[in-house]
Chains A and B, each alone.
Chain A
Amino acid sequence: GPLAERPLMEVRLGELHTWISTCSFSAQGLLGAVQRAWGSYCAKYIHVKQGGPAGISMLLAGYCLLSYGWNYQHFSKASCFRNS
């Protein structure tokens, strides 16, 4: 289909910047994108007949990474004080 309406996974690397220029960065557009992403993740890993640990474990791993990233300053400061 046309470039503007393809989901992210079907866009090639070369067309990436054109694709980004076509998507809307308004509040509604971003909210719609977040909703669609969450919906596709749920449909793929959670709303299945025989799901495994993969569904939540990926969410937990993402949460761990995010919280590490937010608290990076604190970690680096603590280790600096301890190592020296």
Chain B
Amino acid sequence: VLHTTRPLHTTQQSLAPVPPLPEKGGEVRHGLIPEEFFQFLYPKTGVTGPYMLGTGLLLYLLSKEIYVVNHETAAAACILTVIVYAIKKFGPDVAAFADKLNEEKMASALAMKNDTIQTLQTAIEEEKKEQWRAEGRSYLFDAKRNNIAMLLEANYRERLLTVYNEVKKRLDYQVALQNLKRQKEQDHMIQWVEKNVVQSITPQQQKESIAKCILDLKALSKSAHAAV
């Protein structure tokens, strides 16, 4: 159950981005005593003040046997020497190694961030290109409309041609029919006339015409002989 009377997000505080870590830690002298202590005593005692304080304290503890010197003191001294020597000798190498690890982590994270930014940039450009392409859709539709109009026109003209051809065929048929009829009538008439004429030529007329022809031929031949 969400108590809607409780105000949410009233402050400007936000958890991200996380502020970066400070570069160096607080200053510490001799690895044990923070620098603030020396600064605290500087106005009153100068530079050597804290050291005198340390020496005096040490002598007081030793002389009053508040710090007891026993076998553990020797062990502590040896261990401290070894530790200090090790830190002085291998410190910088370990520091460099740790820095390298950190650098690698940072570099991989940065590379990932850059790659993501790059991918998003290319995506933005692709999107813009697609938008530009979409603007040309009017041309596409015009071309399609033109195509369809051309198809319709071609179809219409084909059908017109078919109609024309069909009509012409029918008309040609009628014409041919009429011609044939007339031809047949003509032939029939010619035949009938010839038949009748041949029938009407009696044998008597035939003899008379042949004799006339012979006479004509003789006359012609005479005129031909004379011409020659």
Taking Cβ atoms with an 8 Å cutoff, the residues of A that contact B are 9, 44-55, 57-58, 61, 68, 75-76, 78-79, 82
Q: Is the C-beta of B54 less than 8 angstroms from some C-beta in chain A? A: no
Listed residue (B65, B67, B68, B102) with the most chain A CB atoms within 10 angstroms of its CB? B68
- For chain B, the bracket of interface size reads 20 to 34
Given pairs A49-B102, A50-B99, A57-B32, 16 additional interface contacts (CB within 8 A):
A44-B26, A45-B28, A47-B21, A48-B21, A48-B22, A49-B22, A49-B23, A49-B24, A52-B25, A52-B91, A53-B91, A54-B25, A57-B31, A78-B68, A78-B70, A79-B65
Q: Can you name the residue of chain B whose Cβ is closest to the Cβ of A54?
A: B28
Chain B residues near A45 (CB, 8 Å)? 25-26, 28
Could you list some 28 contacts between A and B, CB below 8 A? A9-B36, A44-B25, A44-B26, A45-B26, A45-B28, A46-B25, A48-B22, A49-B21, A49-B22, A50-B24, A50-B25, A51-B24, A52-B25, A52-B31, A52-B91, A54-B26, A54-B28, A54-B31, A54-B32, A57-B31, A57-B32, A58-B32, A58-B34, A75-B68, A75-B70, A78-B70, A79-B65, A79-B68
Write the nearest CB–CB distance from B51 to chain A, whole angstroms.
17
User: In the complex, what residue of chain B is closest to A41 when comparing beta carbons?
Assistant: B26
Smallest beta-carbon distance B205→chain A, Å? 152
B65 close to A48 (CB less than 8 A) = no
| Shortest Cβ distance from B66 into A: residue | A72
Work out how many contacts link A and B, with CB atoms closer than 8 A. Answer: 57
**Main SS class of interface, A:** helix
Report which residue of A45, A50, A58 has the largest number of chain B beta carbons within 10 angstroms of its beta carbon: A50
Q: Point out residues on B near A: beta carbons under 8 Å.
A: 21-26, 28, 31-32, 34, 36, 65, 67-70, 87, 91, 95, 99, 102
Known: A75-B68, A76-B68. A51 touches B31 (CB 8 A): no
List B contacts of A79 (CB < 8 A): 65, 68-70
Query: Within the assembled complex, what's the spacing in Å between the Cα atoms of A78 and B73?
Result: 14
Are B22 and A58 interface neighbours, CB within 8 A? no
A51 partner residues in chain B, CB cutoff 8 A: 24-25
- Distance (Å) between the CB of B35 and the closest chain A CB? 10
Interface of B is mostly: loop
By a CB distance below 8 angstroms, the chain B residues around A49 are: 21-24, 102
Closest-by-CB residue of B relative to A61 is B32
Measured between alpha carbons, how far is A54 from B29 in the docked complex, in Å? 9
- Please report the C-alpha to C-alpha distance between residue A50 and residue B26 in the assembled complex, in whole angstroms: 11
**Bound CA span A46–B22, Å:** 10
Question: In the complex, what residues of B have CB within 8 A of residue A75's CB?
Answer: 68, 70
A76-B65, A76-B68, A79-B70 known; A52 vs B28 contact (CB < 8 Å)? yes
> What's the nearest-Cβ distance from chain A to residue B49, in Å?
17
Minimum-distance CB pairs A-B, first 6: A54-B28, A48-B25, A79-B68, A44-B26, A75-B68, A45-B25
Alpha-carbon distance between A82 and B24 when the two chains are bound, in angstroms: 48
Tell me the bound Cα distance from A58 to B95 in angstroms: 19
